[in-house]
Structure 1
Amino acid sequence: MTTDRTPHAAGGDAAAASGASHSVEVELKFDVDESTPLPDWSALPGVARVGDPELRQLDATYLDSDDLALAHAGYAVRHRTGGPDEGWHIKGPRGADGGRVELHWPIGPVDEIPDAVADAVSKIARASDFAPIARIRNSRTAYALQDEHGGLVAEFVDDHVVATDERAGVDRSWREWEFELGPAAPTSDEGRAALLAAAEAAVRAAGGRAAASDSKLARTLGA
């Protein structure tokens, strides 16, 4: 969910000055089996239409220091191709509201970390110490859940993930769903809570369950 809030990531002021785009993700994550059918969204408050499926082939490389300083502090730096937001990303820890700040810069070579990315996490780790720790390939099908005016209330994605722990040489694969609030989501705490509760109920009715891990990176690394 995009906002104008200044990120509370380390080096947030430097990131803001660098021209990075900012967003705050408020989402639910679920694990599902390969055969689990898609949820029925007809009972979601404020959702009048489900958009056509959009296939996205995503390929992300995550970077960190040898001691995983970023991961231990709740941050992630990645280079991702594919999808409407391909580029360099920094994700911060989850806030008290459950949201997670994300900074985004345009795509570039994976072996050339932009100065702005390095500066934004310089208080945690030096970019010169970074190396690939994970590669996550994701065949994603996205659905726009829209209100009666075409506004994006939420985006639902069906992810088929193949991930590699680059340091341990271990491959893992799984299927998961994400439900992320959009710009047309309710602005009140009560409205958001009602929408998220209805989404969770729809997912559980379809056979989904709480995600085993808070992030794809953590799951890739065995957490």
Structure 2
Amino acid sequence: MPQHTQVEIERKYDVDADTTPPALVGVGAVAVQAEPETAELVATYLDTADLTLANARIAVRVRRGGHDEGWHVKLAPGEEGRVELHWALSEGDGDEPPVALREAVGQALGDLPLGDLPLAPIARIVNTRVTTVLRDAAGFDLAELCDDHVRGENLRSGGSESWREWEVELLSGAPDTPAGRTALLDGIEERLLAAGARPAASDSKLQRVLSL
């Protein structure tokens, strides 16, 4: 079993190198914009030779750096967001996923036997992430704005690209109804677009790198 499971609800935006993030206090219940924190994230994504996982809209990665360092599985998106499974890193972990992760992915693919899922690195993404947490007046974390400066490498083709994007993800204190969550994301999006952001052309960083 994973050590942590969450439903990831987020929106992504493409931005130019010189775009300044806007103030977000006053959007919905946002009353506090915390001091930004910077982390260097290095993620290696794994898949089969014929991209079985990518074709099923599943992502497997091992990420080092940041508060959620470890092994992640992102399952195919549902009606609202996508389920993310997380396992902590063990000492000496390389790029070989734990058995429990393989079992979870096999189940997601319809109980595929472990031996039929040979995984190897397909992409590496290095991300300098500046995260700003948005809180309500009571101090609950509503959402976070991640200002990502990304360097992606396709390990299959050798292609590489650098870009910048913003990512807004809801946190534990977000509204407890779909309508409330959508309203908060819409309010944040209005300010981001006014500041020069554009809806992301790719659904994920991995999707963008695999197109290189």
For Structure 1 versus Structure 2, the TM-score category normalised by the shorter chain is: over 0.9
1:174 shift after superposition: 0.5
Which has the larger displacement, 104-113 or 138-147?
104-113
Q: Residue type of the partner of 2:86?
A: H
Gaps of 5+ in 2: none
In structure 1, C-alpha distance between the alignment counterparts of 2:106 and 2:198, rounded to whole Å: 37
Match in the other structure for 1:51? 34
Residue 64 of structure 1 corresponds to which residue in structure 2? 47
> Greater shift after overlay, 113-122 or 65-74?
113-122
1:47–1:148 Cα contact (<8 Å) kept: yes
Percentage identity across paired residues of the two chains: 48
Q: 2:122 aligns with which of 133, 147, 158?
A: 133
Give me the TM-score of the superposition, normalised by structure 1.
0.88
Residue 203 in 1 paired to residue 186 in 2?
Answer: no
Counterpart of 1:112? 96
> 1:24-73, CA deviations, whole angstroms, 9 ceiling, x for partnerless residues?
01111000000111122023110110000100100000000000000000
128-137 or 62-71, which moves further after superposition? 128-137
Does 1:83 find its partner at 2:50?
Answer: no
Report if aligned partners of 2:95, 2:121 keep a CA contact under 8 Å in 1: no
Runs of 4+ deviating beyond 6 Å: none
Taking only aligned residues, the RMSD between alpha carbons, in angstroms, comes to: 1.4
Residues paired across the two proteins, number: 205
- Are 1:21 and 1:103, in contact at CA under 8 Å, matched by a contact in 2? yes
Instruction: Provide the rounded CA distance (Å) in 2 between the counterparts of 1:117 and 1:63.
Output: 12
Alpha-carbon contact 1:43-1:198 (below 8 Å) kept = no
SS of residue paired to 2:94: coil
TM-score where L is the length of structure 2: 0.93
Task: Return 5+ residue gaps in structure 1 as ranges.
Answer: 1-17
AA aligned opposite 1:100: R
2:25 to 42, 47, 51: 42
